[in-house]
Amino acid sequence: MTQPLHHWLAAAVANDGVDLKLSGVLETIAAACAELAGVLRLAPIAGQTGLAGHTNVQGEAQKELDVISNDIFIKHLRKNADISILVSEELDEALHLENHGAFAVACDPLDGSSNLDVNVTVGSIFSILAVDPGSPDLLQPGTKQLAAGYAAYGPSTSLVLTFGTAVVCFTLDENGQFVLSQDNITVPAASGEFAINTARERFWDEATKAYVSQNVAGETGPAGKRYNMRWIGSMVADIHRILMRGGIFLYPLDSETTDKGGRLRLLYEANPMALIMEAAGGGATTGHGRILEVQPKAIHQRIPVIVGSKDEVERVNALYSHQG
Ligand code: AHM
Ligand code: MG
């Protein structure tokens, strides 16, 4: 029998000690993702796939749909009095909503937006933190996340959630309701797929070069098996594939991103994906330690991201410890 998100959350509150208000925060985020899925589906007809004409705090050109997605998140989050703060990729500063709620949400409202004009999967990523509304501390390591997840807007809309233990996936049905489609997701420990932007090879460090060249060498190389490379250019879509069938995603620190600390953002890209991957039995590292243990210094901080199947992440870690 299909189980709607609302029932699943009610059971988590009744049986697993999940905070009722936290479950409400997840329902609010799910409502934002459901609305956004509808907007994305019709965006080419509405002429909304172009540039918005300004840049965000990251210095990236905002698409019209980046702005629309951010507005949808703000609209929904404002309706929930338990959420006092929003950190968004599209907002320079943390947005203080006018209430005293004990939760903060960090999100990338529309990840992979360069794929919008070619109708390739994009997503929303989110992380939920507990805050004291009087003096909110947003710079908490990922281990402190109460819950995290993402929505992937593909042929169907998936909503993947974790409280840090199990990982579950819901699918948006024809009534605009998320229903459980996969329980207890585990990422296979071994895999023969890796995801990295190979056009950046000339900027890579020794560990990344060694890992990729071992994979490319296939069954005749030290890995002793054949690999395929996949790169969608939407982190959500690449991670979703890896969560479902194994693999590894790498956006390492390279010589071009060293000044910025990496490409992807810690609070609303790396941490939620790391929580999901670890809860599914996979790994998540910077190459020099667990992503989830990094102490953030700024809300838009960037970080190297290497996540996926346990054996692959361990092999990368070993190459980094060798590199020093
Ligand atoms: P965004 O949050 O501005 O969309 O940027 C993040 C995206 C990720 O989804 C994706 O993995 C990466 O940037 C792609 O980078 P590249 O352009 O180097 O392929
Ligand atoms: Mg992003």
Residue 107 CA, ligand 1 centroid: distance in Å:
15
The Cβ of residue 235 has, within 10 Å, a number of other Cβ atoms equal to: 25
Residue 235 CA, ligand 2 centroid: distance in Å:
7
CB-based burial label for 98 (10 Å; 0-12, 13-18, 19+) = exposed
Q: Is residue 190 within 8 Å of 309, Cβ to Cβ?
A: yes
The Cα 24–Cα 9 span in angstroms is 9
Ligand 1 atom closest to 111 (CA): 4
Residue 134 CA, ligand 1 centroid: distance in Å:
34
- pLDDT value, residue 59: 76
User: Where in the chain are the domains?
Assistant: 5-182, 193-323
Ligand 1 atom closest to 234 (CA): 9
Which has the higher per-residue pLDDT, 245 or 98? 245
> Which of 194, 257, 263, 273 maximizes ligand 1 atoms within 8 Å of its Cβ, making it the mutation to test the pocket?
263
For the cut 90, the answer to whether the pLDDT of residue 199 exceeds it is yes
CATH 3.40.190.80 for the 193-323 domain, yes or no: yes
Ligand nearest to C-alpha 234 = 1
- pLDDT value, residue 47: 85
Mean pLDDT estimate for the chain: 95
Residue 222 CA, ligand 1 centroid: distance in Å:
30
- pLDDT value, residue 55: 77
Arithmetic mean of pLDDT, 36-41: 97
What percent of the chain has a predicted confidence (pLDDT) above 90? 89
Task: List all residues whose CB is within 6 A of at least one atom of ligand 1.
Answer: 60, 89, 108, 111-113, 197, 233-235
For the cut 90, the answer to whether the pLDDT of residue 57 exceeds it is no
What percent of the chain has a predicted confidence (pLDDT) above 70? 100
Give 51's pLDDT tier (boundaries 50, 70, 90).
confident
The Cα 300–Cα 87 span in angstroms is 9
Arithmetic mean of pLDDT, 91-95: 96
**What is the pTM (predicted TM-score) of this model?**
0.96
Q: Is residue 69 within 8 Å of 312, Cβ to Cβ?
A: no
* Superfamily of segment(s) 5-182: Fructose-1,6-Bisphosphatase, subunit A, domain 1 (3.30.540.10)
pLDDT in tens, 39-48: 999 999 988 8
Give 3's pLDDT tier (boundaries 50, 70, 90).
very high
Q: Is residue 150 within 8 Å of 107, Cβ to Cβ?
A: no
The Cα 240–Cα 234 span in angstroms is 10
Show the DSSP H helices in 186-309 as ranges: 206-217, 235-245, 271-279
Ligand nearest to C-alpha 237 = 1
Segment among 54-58, 139-143, 163-167, 269-273 with least mean pLDDT: 54-58
Give 1's pLDDT tier (boundaries 50, 70, 90).
low
Name the packing angle between helices 310-323 and 206-217 (round to 10°).
Answer: 130
Arithmetic mean of pLDDT, 282-307: 98
Arithmetic mean of pLDDT, 297-307: 98
The Cα 301–Cα 240 span in angstroms is 23
Segment among 17-26, 72-81, 129-138, 197-206 with least mean pLDDT: 129-138
Counting Cα atoms < 13 Å in the Cβ hemisphere of 289 gives 7
